[in-house]
Structure formats: C-alpha cells, structure tokens
Structure 1
Amino acid sequence: MLAIWQSFKQNYLIKYWNPVAAVIAAGIISAYYFGITGTYWAVTGEFTRWGGHLLNALGVDVSNWSYFQLIGLDGTIFTRIDGVMILGMFAGCLSAALWANNVKWHNQPHKKRIIQALIGGALAGFGARLAMGCNLASLFTGIPQFSVHAWFFTFATAIGTYFGVKVTLLPMFRVKLELKKGAAKIKENDPKQANRRFWVGMLIFITYLSASLYVMQSSIKLGFAMLCGLAFGLLIERAQICFTSAFRDLWITGRAYMAKAIIFGIIAGTIGVFSYIQLGVSPKILWAGPNAIIGGLLFGFGIVLAGGCETGWMYRSMEGQVHFMWVGVGNVVGSTLLAYY
C-alpha cells in the first residue's frame, strides 16, 4: 500500500503534469464553472475591485468611478464568486508548489527588472481592463462564449506580444551579469524539509477543499467557485501554464506546444459552454470595439515586458519568485487606473 502511495505521490503530485492534458482539463472545468455560477473564469475584474477596496481603505471615494458603477463594488473578496475563486487559485498554486518542494525565495536583485515588472504588469492590467478581460475572460474563456470581442482581443494580443518580443530583446533591457570567483556549490535537497513542505501543502489543500464543501451547503455557487479555483490553481502550477510563453515562444523559437495546448483547451471549453447555452444559460457577450483591439495590443506588449500574464504571475509568485510579485502589483495598479477613467 505504501509503495502505491509513493508511486502516486511521485507521478501525480510531485512531477510536472502534461500541459496539453492540464489545459484541456482547465477548459472542461471552466465550462462547468460557467454553467453553475453563471460567469466565466476571470481574474482582472476582481483584481480591479481589490484596487478599489485598497483605495477606499486609504480614504479615496471610488463609488462614483464609472467602472465600479458598471461592475459594482459590493461585498468582499470572501462573498464574491470571483473573489473566493481567486483565493482558491492561490491556495491551489501554493499547495502544488509545496507538494513538489518547488517553493524558494527568488529575490530580484536588478532594479531594471523590477521597473520592467511594474510597467509591464501595469500595461497588461490596463489593457485587460480596457478590453474587459485578460487572457482568460477575453481569450481562453471568452472565445467559448462566442463573443466577437474575444477574437479581436486574441489577434491583437498576438500582435502585441510580437512587438513586445522585439522590444525586450533590445540591448537596453539586458542586465549586466556578475561573475564571481570560486566554484559554484550545489545545494542538495533536504528530504526532511521536502516532506514537511509536502504535508504543509496537503494541509492547505485539504483545508480549502473542506471549506469549499462546507460553503457549498449554504451557497452552491460560492462553494463551487472555491472548488474550481483550487482546481485551476493546481493545474496552472503543476503544468506551468502561462499564456505569455505560448505567444512568446512562437516569435522567438517557433515552438507552438503551449499554443496548441491552449487551442485544445478552448475547443473543450467551447463544447461545454455551447451545451449550457442550449440548456438556457445566457452567454457572456461583451462589446467588440476599438477597446478590445487597443486593450489586446497593450496587454500583449505588457505581458512580454513583464515576463508573465495573470496565470503566470499567480503561480510563480506562490513559488517564491519576487519578480512576479511585482508583476502582480503592477497588474492591480494598471487595472485600477483604468477604472478611474
């Protein structure tokens, strides 16, 4: 029995997952998420609300801001579907990273990279908010809704990432490498530390899973959103799902592995969403205008400049990569800035 557990642990909880299978699973889960909660898997709107709550706490009245009048600022992160779903994503990412002993504090010593992360994150957040969604709501889960704005955003994002690649390869974005005398020391993994982290990750996973099932007793939508968020977090961390790399790899190496995985995931999600639409669930259709195109261009450029999209910075920050924590800060700032206008 112990041998079976160790085999399962090594193959499914510690090793990285196949990206194609993981993205398809994310597409299927996102379809159920839409059918049961009535909304799609999205994060930018909630991040914008976080910025609004922070400004409120600092004494800034945002109730008259046009964007918050449109989407509302009612409730808290613990009472909104998007809020508990995102908390679940962070819990899932952290759990998965701890299972694999993949949590390590990676500081960002270069100020240039920090500025790059903040500006890129802000551009991505601003663009996503302008287009009414990021790589999730205006691409991965937007296209299955049969919303034309998602196609505008997707093509514009591809163009934006192309120019982002060209700009970030310029000499001005290179950092000086410092060579130090002496042989590099390879730090061996501590089995006891890895085991402790595994069980801490399992504790976080079981706690949030239990909370999801408990909340589901009183609110199906809220509890299911928590459950889906946990699943999304596990998937993006274990399979290292990042839309930035999917686009960037096309322009740098011509590698389309992650891009193909995303397409398969969109197809799976589309089939599920279409089934729910046939059952009477209203699709999430947003306006297709210049906002989707301009927003996509800014978003695409921003995610390459920053080094990661919304899903990318979320799981990497849970792995202890400080650079992507700065990307997240910039993301919230950028999306909140647009809410003002």
Structure 2
Amino acid sequence: MTWSTFRHDYMVRFWAPLPAVITAGVLSALYFGLTGTFWAVTGEFTRWGGHALQMFGLHPEEWGYFRIIGLHGTPWTRVDGVMVLGMFAGSLAAALWANNVKLRLPRRKRRIAQALVGGAIAGFGARLAMGCNLAAFFTGIPQFSLHAWLFALATIVGSYFGTRVALLPFLRADVRLVRAASAGTVAPRAALARWQFRLGVAVFCVAVAASLELASSALKLGFAALFGIAFGILIERAQICFTSAFRDMWITGRTAMARAIVLGMAASAIGIFSYVQLGVEPKILWAGPNAIIGGVLFGFGIVVAGGCETGWMYRSMEGQVHYWFVGIGNIAGATVLAALWDRIGPPLALAWPKVNLLATFGPLGGLLVTYAGLVLAFLLLLWWEKAFVARRAQMAVQAESKGAF
C-alpha cells in the first residue's frame, strides 16, 4: 500500500461506522481496565462549569453534587480532564487531515438559541441521571448498572419527542442552493488541503508527545490522554453521533448507527466483565427516577440541539459554530443541575438503590442478562427498520391509488 493510498483511505475518507464503533467499545473496555474509570465527558464538563463559578468567587466545591464527582485539581491534572482534552485534540487532528476544518456559521440566529436551549436540557438531564450517551450506553450498560438501562430506554422516548419538536417548520434548517466551485478555485483548495493536513499531523504529534511526557510522571494521566486522542480520532473520522442514530430511527427508519452502537456495547461488555472478575470495580449508580427523567430530558435535548456529547465535540473542532453553542449550553445545563442537586438529588436519586446486575444475578447471570438485553435491542431495531420501510411503501401505494382517481 502506497502512502497516498493509506492517506486517502484512512486519513481523508470517512470511516465505516460499524468497525469504528466496535473499536470504540473495545477501547472503552481497555480504558476502564487501565485507568479504573469509565469513558465519559459530561462529568468533566460539569467540573468546568464549577471552575467558572469559582472564578466569580463562588464555592461550588461545597455543593453536594461536587462532593460526589469531585472538583479537585484542574482539567490537566485529572484523569477525566486530560482524556477530554485528548478527545478535542484527536478530533481536531483528524478533521485537519481530511481538510474538514472550515468556519461554518449558523444561517439563522434562532439556531443559536436552539443550540443553547437544547444543549442545556441535554446537559441537565445527563447529569441528573449521572450519565450521558457515553457514560450510560457505552460504559454504563457494559458495566452492568441497571440505571444505564433505565436511562437508555428513557433517552429513546425523549428523542422521539425531540424529533417531533425539531421537525416543526420554524426550527427546520433552510435549504439553499450553492453555486459549484469554478475551475480557478481548485488549486487554492488543494494548497489549503495540504496545509491543513500538515497542521493536523503537527497537532497529533504534539498531543501524543504531551501525553507521553505526562505519562513519564503520572502514568494513569498519560494513558488517559492517549486514549482521549484515540477516541477523538474515532468519533470524527467515523462521525459517531448518537443524536443521528436516534433521529434517523424516527425520521427515516434507518437503524444502522443504532445497531452499530449496540454491537459496540456488546464488545465493551465482555472486556469490562473480564476486568471486573480481575478485581476492577465497576461504576454502579442509582436506579431511581433520576435515570428516567434525566434520560427523557437528555434524549429530547440532544435532538433539539442537533448533537450529543460526542457529536458537538468533534463538530466544534470542524469549525461548525452552531456546536460551540451546544457545548456552552451543555456545560451550563449540567452546572445548573449541580446547583439544584441538594434539593432534587435525595428524593430522585440518593434514596434509590444502586443495582449491579452481576451482584443481583451472579457473574454469569448478569452477563447473560446484559447480552439478552442487547440481542433484544438489536432485533427490535431490525424489526423497526423493516416495519418503517413497509409502512412507507404502503402509504406511497395508497397515495398513488388516490391520485389515480
């Protein structure tokens, strides 16, 4: 394989979602085993909101929520922090390799409000449930926590209602025809692509070098940063977005991304199960109303905003300004939840049990129950896609027959 072929196939062209999502599942299991924590981002974003409040003289570290998730150190001295920074660096490098970084402004101002409001609702819901699309789907379910199943089912419901709202006429994006580029613009664009590629390589090399330097003094932090880079590259090159998975399911009936996510969870579950048997403690959280309410809010919010946690992270690195505001809203909503936690947390979450499926059904039973749930989810997605297509075809035939008369 020549360098030009490798560059085009693996650094410029988008990757197929299925192998990328399964790879992400395997990496998330390895990340759990090597760092003792799970792949998640909204907890760290909530800490960023806490740091912002500290800059204004407030003391959020005294709040109950931050006593649970911690507010010590800085983003570059925490495992979650360096992992998230690595994800941003990896996403930026991957987008630059493909000449995919371009400043894109929202066409309508209401899109900014939509991004902020949807992002805030999603951030609030994610932290109410103590999870997000990563902490619940990709790590919560594979870590055998019942709360993640409740969150996942509620997220699907919330995404349905979010889709209904997002399809309202005043929220739909304008469709505009753009004049094709003239022949005279080809050379400048080729030059820009070369410079972006070189810059992307530089960003990647600097990020890896910084991670290795960090590992020399704090091995776990260095591992976290390297995993973050890998996660960032994966989500950008494969365009992994849970929002599109849910939205496509309701609008077009396509479930390819959703089925890939299920298989990714299956790949992660067996790896995490192995580490648990070796003594690594899984993260089990409260299976209470907080998981259900938070899931509905999260599912609704990500569809209205147009992006989930992974989606807004890599799209913001691609220069899509809309997603900068999704991220701001996400952090703001999570911080509001932290401020309200002492009032709503005890009845909605803390009063409810933490249900570990491995403890409830035994190690083998918990594993089998989890895989049974994933198999059922996969089969339901296949059924939904076939039923959706058949219903659309029937509606088309009925409309044609009415038109004939």
Q: Which residue of 2 aligns with 1:40?
A: 38
More displaced stretch, 189-198 vs 74-83:
189-198
Q: Which residue of 1 aligns with 2:207?
A: 208
Instruction: Specify the code of the residue in structure 2 equivalent to 1:254.
Output: G
Q: Determine if the alignment matches structure 1 residue 31 to structure 2 residue 26.
A: no
Q: Which residue of 2 aligns with 1:262?
A: 261
What is the rounded CA distance, in whole Å, between the counterparts of 1:177 and 1:276 in structure 2?
49
* Percent of paired sites with the same residue: 62
What is the rounded CA distance, in whole Å, between the counterparts of 1:92 and 1:71 in structure 2?
25
Residue 174 of structure 1: CA displacement? 3.4
Instruction: Specify the code of the residue in structure 1 equivalent to 2:30.
Output: Y
What is the rounded CA distance, in whole Å, between the counterparts of 2:299 and 2:61 in structure 1?
30
- Which residues in structure 2 correspond to 1:98-113 (within 5 Å)? 98-113=96-111
- Which residues in structure 2 correspond to 1:163-242 (within 5 Å)? 163-174=161-172, 184-186=179-181, 188-189=185-186, 190-242=189-241
Residue 172 of structure 1: CA displacement? 3.3
Instruction: Specify the code of the residue in structure 1 equivalent to 2:68.
Output: L
Structure number with greater Rg is 2
Q: Determine if the alignment matches structure 1 residue 313 to structure 2 residue 312.
A: yes
Q: Which residue of 2 aligns with 1:88?
A: 86
What is the rounded CA distance, in whole Å, between the counterparts of 1:172 and 1:202 in structure 2?
41
Structure 2 CA distance for partners of 1:34 and 1:254, relative to 1, 3 Å: same
Structure 2 CA distance for partners of 1:177 and 1:10, relative to 1, 3 Å: closer
After TM superposition, the score normalised by the length of structure 1 is 0.96
The structure whose RCO (Cα within 8 Å, separation 6+) is larger is 1
Structure 2 CA distance for partners of 1:204 and 1:178, relative to 1, 3 Å: closer
- Which residues in structure 2 correspond to 1:284-303 (within 5 Å)? 284-303=283-302
What is the rounded CA distance, in whole Å, between the counterparts of 1:245 and 1:265 in structure 2?
16
Describe the superposition over 1:164-202 as per-residue Cα deviations: whole angstroms up to 9, x where unpaired: 1111112232366678xxx82426442111111101100
What secondary structure does 1:89 align onto?
A: helix
More displaced stretch, 305-314 vs 190-199:
190-199
Instruction: Specify the code of the residue in structure 2 equivalent to 1:46.
Output: E
- Which residues in structure 2 correspond to 1:44-123 (within 5 Å)? 44-123=42-121
Residue 250 of structure 1: CA displacement? 0.6
What secondary structure does 2:304 align onto?
A: helix
After TM superposition, the score normalised by the length of structure 2 is 0.81
Structure 2 CA distance for partners of 1:177 and 1:202, relative to 1, 3 Å: closer
Which structure 2 segments of 5+ residues have no match?
A: 341-405
Residue 83 of structure 1: CA displacement? 0.3
Instruction: Specify the code of the residue in structure 2 equivalent to 1:55.
Output: L
Alpha-carbon RMSD: 1.4
Residue 20 of structure 1: CA displacement? 0.5
Residue 7 of structure 1: CA displacement? 1.1
Describe the superposition over 1:66-102 as per-residue Cα deviations: whole angstroms up to 9, x where unpaired: 1112221100001000000000000000000000000
Q: Which residue of 2 aligns with 1:139?
A: 137
How many residues align? The count is: 336
Structure 2 CA distance for partners of 1:176 and 1:257, relative to 1, 3 Å: closer
What secondary structure does 1:144 align onto?
A: coil
Whether the aligned pair in 1 keeps the contact of 2:28 and 2:138 (CA below 8 Å) is no
Residue 46 of structure 1: CA displacement? 0.3
Which structure 1 segments of 5+ residues have no match?
A: none
Structure 2 CA distance for partners of 1:321 and 1:282, relative to 1, 3 Å: same
What is the rounded CA distance, in whole Å, between the counterparts of 1:102 and 1:170 in structure 2?
30
Residue 61 of structure 1: CA displacement? 2.0
Structure 2 CA distance for partners of 1:176 and 1:258, relative to 1, 3 Å: closer
What is the rounded CA distance, in whole Å, between the counterparts of 1:65 and 1:287 in structure 2?
19
Match among 13, 16, 19 for residue 18 of structure 1: 16
What is the rounded CA distance, in whole Å, between the counterparts of 1:311 and 1:195 in structure 2?
27
Q: Which residue of 1 aligns with 2:6?
A: 8
- Which residues in structure 2 correspond to 1:149-168 (within 5 Å)? 149-168=147-166
What is the rounded CA distance, in whole Å, between the counterparts of 1:144 and 1:177 in structure 2?
40
What is the rounded CA distance, in whole Å, between the counterparts of 2:85 and 2:276 in structure 1?
28
Instruction: Specify the code of the residue in structure 2 equivalent to 1:313.
Output: W
Residue 211 of structure 1: CA displacement? 1.5
Instruction: Specify the code of the residue in structure 1 equivalent to 2:163.
Output: V
More displaced stretch, 322-331 vs 187-196:
187-196
